[in-house]
Every structure is written in C-alpha cells, then in structure tokens.
C-alpha cells in the first residue's frame, strides 16, 4: 500500500513492543494471561513504566491504579490529549486486545521525540486498570473510577472472583497511587476490532461510531438440594432446570423485542455442584448489550416478568444488576478528523459500531472521544488465535498519531 506522505511512527518498533509485552504471562498457543493486579499484570505495568520514563514522560498513578504517562507540551497549562487502553487480558487472551492501544500511545511519544516535534498541549498515555473485569467486577474499573461512575468508589463497590481485595492487591503490586490524574481535553483509543467487519470489507481503518450499552446481571434460582436417586422427578425443585427454562424463554422474548439485542449467559454457578445431588441453587450471570438504552430498559423489565412463573412453582428468584455501561456515541468532529487522516494516507476506512465494551465508552461521557479499529483476522478475539497483521498495526498507529497531533496542535 502506498501512502501519500512519509510515516511519522516506527511500525517495527511498535510491533516489537507488543510482542515483548506478550511474553509476560505467555500461555500455550501464543496467547497471554495477565489478569488484573496479578504478578503478571505488575510485570507488564513495570515494563510500561520503564519505557515511558525512558521516553521522558512524567508518570502518575491514581487511587484506582490507572497509570498516566505525560509528555509535556509547550503550554502545560492546557489539558492533555489522552491516548490509552489496557494491559490486562482474558484468561485465554491474545496479544493485541488492549495492549495495542497502550503501545500505540508509547510509539507516538517515541516518534515525536525522534522527530523533535513539540505539541502545544501535553500528550498523555494511560493504562486503565481492570478493563476486562475477569478478576474484579465491574469491568472497566479504572475508567469508571476516573469519570466518577463507580458507585461509592470504595472496596464495597468492587467484587472479586477469587476472594482478593482490589485495593489490597493494588498495594501488594505497588500501584496503590494517590496522584492526581491529568486534566484532559480529548481521548483517543486504538483497538483491534474483535470482529470480522473490517476484514470482510477490505478496510484498513475502522472509525467507531459508538459502543453498545452493556449491563451485567446475577440471576439466582433457589430450589432444594435432594438425592439424585431417591427423589422422584415430579417431586423435585431442580434450580438448574428452572434456570435453563428461564434462559431459553428469556432469549426468545428478548429477540422479539429487538433481534439486534445481544444476550449471553456466560457463566453458570451450581450448588452444591455434586454429581449425585439435585442442585438447590443456580446462578446465571447475564451479559446484555444493545446500542439503544430504551431497548435495554425493555429487556431488563422482561427479566423480572420471566421469573414470575418460577415463583408460582415455589422457586426463589432474584436479580442483581452488577454493572451498567451506558451506550456511547463518539465525537463527530473527531470521527471526521480520523476519516480525513485515513483518506490523506490512502487507507480505506469504514464507519462501524462497537459490539464490545471499551474504556472509551466511559470517557465519551465526559470529554470528546474517538476510537480507531484495525482488522482482526477471522474476527477472533479473547483467544490465543487473536491476530492483526503488522501492516494494519502500523497503519492504525500512523492514523492515530496524525489525529493526536491535530488535537494537540503540533
């Protein structure tokens, strides 16, 4: 592909940085596992901190463990242009999800240093804490805290899957900061698409229109433990079968409301979890997504209605909403600016929504924000097979760099 101007960023250096981070928490199949606030997460954070310090950045860590690396501008009284994503991964994660956005920010700072380019406003890179939400809930913890969307903002508002305490783990790995985050004017996040749309369309750059709203729920079904061999089928209160019927019926009715709704029962917990005991308690963890908040409201009301027949059959039934990320729309001027940059570099672009949640959806509520996607091979993500071509990685970073320079007034 021929670009209309010499590149500012070094795609080989960017690729090397991504591959170096991937070595931390490496798993079989060339994937990575760096759950938030584990030793592997600490190692990746330490390496990032080393790199940005070497690049001349001031490093700050706030009370949520978010790391900010600030490159000074000619006018440090101006708010910074923020670039970022996350370094934590899924248990069977790939090498690009989240990491790409943080390393692209690092490469931009390095490239501007190499070229001796001074911006009027500061440029900052951020690594948001616990974006994935695997070990601690809610996900997007760091960006939720940054924008004031974490209820309470204390230990009671964050739950753990392994009994760990969020703030204690921050302290254990050395990232229980008290620094004040930088004031920001604009936020950019670069990410792999995690879907097949760009690849199928032959587009290099995805300009993200907005992010679907995401709500997570814990749905509990209470029946009665009983012996698997001695209890007749018509005398049972099997919580798992009740949960199964509920899930299938709910899905069908939700699709009737809007076929574009996304319903995923991604986690099932059964107690006592014994082969020869009828399960007395089952918990379904539901991931619900849609771009329209009114549709989400209607589907959420349906959740309670769907449980009424179970109550009449003698089952205990309760719903607990554990996360709510509102649908986000990105800034029109920034989207246009990214599209203009891609066109100037002869890179085909495509506007599309994001089906996955991102920290940018939180930032969009408080500052003008934009997201850039690059293609994902076969649309695979949250999997060691996750892959984006080196050319696409470099092209995306170049577009991001030029959009950032425009926002920071080079």
Q: In 176-229, where does DSSP find H-type helix?
A: 197-201
How many Å from the N-terminal Cα to the C-terminal Cα in the chain? 26
CA distances from 335 to 206, 243, 259, 371 (A): 10, 43, 28, 8
CA distance 194 to 373: 9
Asked if residue 382 belongs to a known ligand binding site, the reply is: yes
**What is the total residue count of the chain?**
410
CA distance 326 to 357: 10
SS (H, E, C) 132-188: CCCCEECCCHHHHHHHCCCCCCCHHHCEECCCCCHHHHHHHCCCCCCCCCCCEEEEE
Token pair listed for 235 = 């005398």
CA distances from 296 to 94, 169, 268 (A): 30, 34, 22
CB 317 within 8 A of CB 323: no
Token pair listed for 333 = 């001027």
CA distance 48 to 58: 13
Q: What are phi and psi of 256, to 5 degrees?
A: -65, -30
Asked if residue 132 belongs to a known ligand binding site, the reply is: yes
CB 316 within 8 A of CB 222: yes
Q: What region, left, alpha or beta, does residue 72 occupy, with left being phi > 0 and alpha being psi -120 to 50 degrees?
A: beta
CA distances from 164 to 138, 203, 230, 308 (A): 14, 43, 40, 35
Map residue 285 onto helix, strand or coil: strand
Cα-based angle 162, 164, 167 (whole degrees, multiple of 5): 150
Asked if residue 238 belongs to a known ligand binding site, the reply is: no
Burial of 1 per CB tally in 10 Å (0-12, 13-18, 19+): exposed
* Binding-site residues from annotation: 86, 97, 132, 191, 382
* Binding-site residues from annotation for Zn(2+): 86, 97, 132, 191, 382
């Amino acid at each position: 592909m021929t670009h209309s101007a010499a590149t500012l960023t070094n795609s080989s250096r960017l690729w090397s940085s991504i591959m170096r981070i991937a070595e931390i928490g490496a798993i079989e199949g060339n994937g990575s596992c760096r759950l938030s606030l584990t030793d592997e997460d600490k190692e990746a954070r330490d390496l990032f901190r080393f790199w940005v310090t070497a690049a001349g950045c001031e490093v700050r860590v706030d009370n949520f463990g978010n790391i900010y690396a600030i490159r000074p501008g000619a006018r440090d009284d101006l708010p910074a242009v923020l670039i970022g994503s996350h370094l934590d991964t899924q248990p069977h994660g790939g090498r690009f999800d989240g990491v790409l956005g943080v390393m692209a920010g690092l490469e931009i700072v390095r490239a501007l240093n190499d070229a001796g380019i001074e911006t009027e406003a500061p440029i900052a890179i951020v690594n948001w804490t616990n974006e994935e939400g695997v070990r601690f809930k809610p996900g997007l913890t760091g960006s939720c805290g940054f924008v004031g969307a974490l209820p309470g903002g204390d230990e009671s508002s964050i739950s753990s899957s392994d009994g760990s305490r969020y703030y204690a783990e921050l302290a254990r790995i050395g990232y229980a900061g008290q620094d004040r985050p930088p004031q920001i004017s604009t936020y950019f996040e670069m990410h792999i698409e995690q879907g097949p749309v760009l690849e199928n369309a032959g587009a290099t750059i995805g300009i993200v229109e907005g992010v679907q709203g995401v709500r997570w729920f814990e749905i509990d079904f209470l029946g009665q433990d009983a012996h698997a061999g001695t209890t007749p089928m018509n005398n049972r209160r099997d919580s798992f079968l009740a949960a199964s019927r509920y899930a299938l019926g709910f899905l069908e009715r939700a699709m009737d409301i809007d076929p574009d709704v996304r319903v995923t029962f991604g986690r099932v917990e059964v107690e006592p979890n014994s082969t020869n005991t009828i399960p007395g308690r089952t918990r379904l963890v539901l991931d619900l997504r849609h771009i329209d908040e009114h549709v989400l409201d209607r589907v959420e009301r349906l959740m309670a209605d769907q449980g009424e027949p179970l109550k009449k059959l003698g089952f205990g039934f309760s719903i607990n909403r554990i996360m709510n990320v509102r649908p986000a729309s990105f800034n029109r001027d920034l989207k246009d600016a990214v599209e203009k940059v891609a066109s100037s570099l002869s890179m085909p672009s495509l506007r599309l929504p994001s089906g996955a949640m991102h920290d940018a959806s939180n930032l969009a509520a408080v500052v003008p924000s934009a997201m850039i996607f690059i293609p994902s091979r076969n649309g695979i993500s949250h999997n060691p097979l996750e892959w984006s071509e080196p050319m696409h990685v470099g092209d995306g970073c170049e577009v991001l760099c030029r959009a950032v320079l425009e926002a920071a007034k080079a």
